[in-house]
Homo-oligomer: A and B are copies of this chain.
Amino acid sequence: MTSPFADLTSIRHVVGVDFGTLSARAVVVRASDGSEVGTGVADYPHAVIERGLPDGDTRLPADWALQDPADWRAALGGAVRAAMRDAAVAPESVVGIATDFTACTVLPVLRDGTPLCEVPRLRDRPHSWPKLWKHHAAQEQADRITALAHERGESWIARYGGRISSEWEFAKALQVLEEDPDLYHRTERWIEAADWIVWQLCGIETRNACTAGYKGIFQDGRYPSTDYLKSLHPEFGDFAQTRLGGLPLSPLGARVGTLTAAAAALTGLPQGIAVATGNVDAHVTAPATCAIGPGQLLAIMGTSTCHVMNAGVLAEVPGICGVVDGGITPGWYGYEAGQSAVGDIFAWWIDQGLPPSYLAQARERGEDLHEYLSARCAGQPVGGHGLVALDWMGGNRSVLVDHHLSGVLVGLTLATTPEDIYLALLESTAFGTRTIVEAFDGAGVPVDEFVVAGGLKRNPLLMQIYADVLRRPVAVAGSDQAPALGSAIHAAVAAGIHPDVEQAAAVMGRVERGAFTPDPHRADAYDALFAEYRALHDYFSGRGSAANDVLHRLRQRRNGAAAANSASQQDGGVSS
């Protein structure tokens, strides 16, 4: 009989850390087979900074969304330590760490990586803070970036569905330059949080192939030209060269350095273990769910949804977020699309309040309010609520790429119930997904299977709706921590345990295929509702001669009113 301790030396573990919108989640994983042996979560104390800076004095305009890098550091240490405690494995068994992050979450830093918001005299300047992915106040800049690219016939614009998002690196940076030029000029590097957190781990600045391609307009070996950038703004010409460039891109799964003494102290992991290149929470999930073959569209469904899919062909798909060579796994064209708000919409509806009797019944049945409302919807015939909704409460990422759109609810009657609206909102996000799937199909990048990871995979009503609306089988991630598991897979590759991501995914990833299959009868009924959705989609997009641009006008009026109100409040002109 061998001693149990003898095995410790042969079992190797890797750590994956997933930085989400509100918290970081770490898993400790057995590198040989992907078993998750420990998990830890740490919330960001400041969560999303939307109304005012933490100083309590500096208010933020509409559509802003910031985060605090100190929260990320603290959550890194907290989540990894918690996961290691939960795993109860020897720290010496850990051979590598990899991270993934929301994107485009981007911040201005000094040459040594110090965030500008941590430079004391810049701390009360809103533009010194990291802009979270869902910061939507750079739409004007994004529109000009897009228009100029078309005007000049820039070849890269087609790789982004014909539109650059206000969420991405260039739009957000240009907003800084135009609104706080002094702060812009103090920005020595403009870096994705995905790469900044790796810098904190190994002390080396890197740029990963995924965010550089999808969020940084890096295509065919280069960023947009100086000439193009200068035409956007005379002082923006050297932006890519000085703030982004100067470093080769790191392929996903590469080892970019080793854990520094400081990072070892923060996390409790051994100094010197492999640190993998940065990655994005969505893309990193593909190997964790074995969804890296062509036609397997992976949706990471949480507050928002990201869709990623590999393909052997390079096609121009209108309205997708982007296509990047090696953006998901080296050797494939990686496509990305997205929906700005999904779970956020369902939560928004519940936050509007529910009848007291519903709250009491949910409590009695031990269900959370999503489960309770879903149960009340069960068995409803398709269209029985008489409603159709546009899922644009957080704007529209694909295929309209317009964050100043807003949501619409059509068909309300005095008999409409809270669960009717909840169901219509669930369906609206499925219709949004179908619009994206049809864009891929139409561009010659067919979608055969829909794979779901993220918290929403646990709602069987929602999953069945997606199967019916998409008329495709829905597979479900085997792990509840699929992004963190995906990072762990990359850590295992960076540590040299598996030769590449595809082989690591084959042994470490997990998925339940065909978990939900379409009901042909309900799918037919949803076809008719989807036709209504598409007609409203086109009308409210504001594009084309038959459309109504009301959503943009309402948004403008709202933002104008809010600004006027805030100005007059600061003048003491309006009592609160």
Query: Which residues of A approach B to under 8 Å, CB–CB?
Result: 62, 341, 344-345, 348, 351-356, 358-359, 379-388, 393-394, 406-418, 421, 525, 528-529, 532, 535-536, 539-540, 546, 548, 550-551, 553-555, 557-558, 560-562, 564-565, 574-576
Could you tell me the distance between the alpha carbons of A553 and B410 in the complex, rounded to whole angstroms? 11
Q: Which of B386, B416, B417, B536 contacts A557 (CB 8 A)?
A: B386
Q: Which of B62, B344, B383 contacts A561 (CB 8 A)?
A: B383
The reply to whether A353 and B351 form a contact with Cβ atoms under 8 Å apart is no
Classify the secondary structure of A's interface with B. mixed
Across the interface, name the chain B residue whose C-beta is closest to A550: B532
Could you tell me the distance between the alpha carbons of A411 and B554 in the complex, rounded to whole angstroms? 7
The reply to whether B548 and A421 form a contact with Cβ atoms under 8 Å apart is no
The reply to whether B408 and A412 form a contact with Cβ atoms under 8 Å apart is yes
Across the interface, name the chain B residue whose C-beta is closest to A564: B381
| A401 shortest CB reach to chain B, Å | 17
Across the interface, name the chain B residue whose C-beta is closest to A407: B412
* 9 A-B pairs with the lowest CB-CB distances in the bound complex, closest first: A386-B558, A407-B412, A381-B561, A383-B557, A353-B354, A384-B561, A353-B353, A411-B554, A409-B409
The reply to whether B393 and A412 form a contact with Cβ atoms under 8 Å apart is yes
The reply to whether A408 and B406 form a contact with Cβ atoms under 8 Å apart is no
The reply to whether A410 and B551 form a contact with Cβ atoms under 8 Å apart is yes
The reply to whether B550 and A536 form a contact with Cβ atoms under 8 Å apart is yes
The reply to whether B565 and A553 form a contact with Cβ atoms under 8 Å apart is no
The reply to whether A409 and B411 form a contact with Cβ atoms under 8 Å apart is no
A352-B354, A539-B539 given. 11 additional CB < 8 A pairs?
A62-B415, A353-B418, A379-B575, A380-B565, A386-B406, A406-B411, A408-B411, A410-B550, A410-B554, A532-B553, A546-B546
The reply to whether A414 and B348 form a contact with Cβ atoms under 8 Å apart is yes
The reply to whether B528 and A557 form a contact with Cβ atoms under 8 Å apart is yes
Q: Which of B353, B386, B540 contacts A352 (CB 8 A)?
A: B353
The reply to whether B564 and A535 form a contact with Cβ atoms under 8 Å apart is no
The reply to whether A555 and B341 form a contact with Cβ atoms under 8 Å apart is no
The reply to whether B548 and A536 form a contact with Cβ atoms under 8 Å apart is yes
Across the interface, name the chain B residue whose C-beta is closest to A50: B415
Measured between beta carbons, the chain B residues less than 8 angstroms from A351 are 355
Measured between beta carbons, the chain B residues less than 8 angstroms from A575 are 379
Measured between beta carbons, the chain B residues less than 8 angstroms from A411 are 406-408, 550-551, 554-555, 558
Could you tell me the distance between the alpha carbons of A344 and B574 in the complex, rounded to whole angstroms? 32
Residue of A353, A413, A560 with most chain B CB atoms under a 10 A cut-off = A413
Q: Which of B354, B383, B529, B558 contacts A384 (CB 8 A)?
A: B558
Measured between beta carbons, the chain B residues less than 8 angstroms from A421 are 352
Could you tell me the distance between the alpha carbons of A411 and B395 in the complex, rounded to whole angstroms? 10
Q: Which of B62, B383, B415, B561 contacts A382 (CB 8 A)?
A: B561
The reply to whether A548 and B528 form a contact with Cβ atoms under 8 Å apart is no
Measured between beta carbons, the chain B residues less than 8 angstroms from A62 are 415
Measured between beta carbons, the chain B residues less than 8 angstroms from A551 are 410-411
The reply to whether B535 and A550 form a contact with Cβ atoms under 8 Å apart is yes
| A166 shortest CB reach to chain B, Å | 15
Measured between beta carbons, the chain B residues less than 8 angstroms from A353 are 352-356, 358-359, 418
| A2 shortest CB reach to chain B, Å | 56
| A565 shortest CB reach to chain B, Å | 5
| A240 shortest CB reach to chain B, Å | 32
Measured between beta carbons, the chain B residues less than 8 angstroms from A418 are 352-353
| A232 shortest CB reach to chain B, Å | 28
Could you tell me the distance between the alpha carbons of A532 and B535 in the complex, rounded to whole angstroms? 19
Residue of A411, A416, A540 with most chain B CB atoms under a 10 A cut-off = A411
| A452 shortest CB reach to chain B, Å | 22
Measured between beta carbons, the chain B residues less than 8 angstroms from A532 are 550, 553-554
15 contacts across the A-B interface (CB closer than 8 A): A352-B352, A352-B355, A353-B354, A379-B576, A380-B561, A381-B561, A383-B554, A384-B558, A386-B406, A386-B555, A386-B557, A387-B554, A409-B409, A532-B550, A532-B554
Could you tell me the distance between the alpha carbons of A407 and B387 in the complex, rounded to whole angstroms? 10
Residue of A356, A525, A553, A554 with most chain B CB atoms under a 10 A cut-off = A554
Could you tell me the distance between the alpha carbons of A341 and B62 in the complex, rounded to whole angstroms? 34
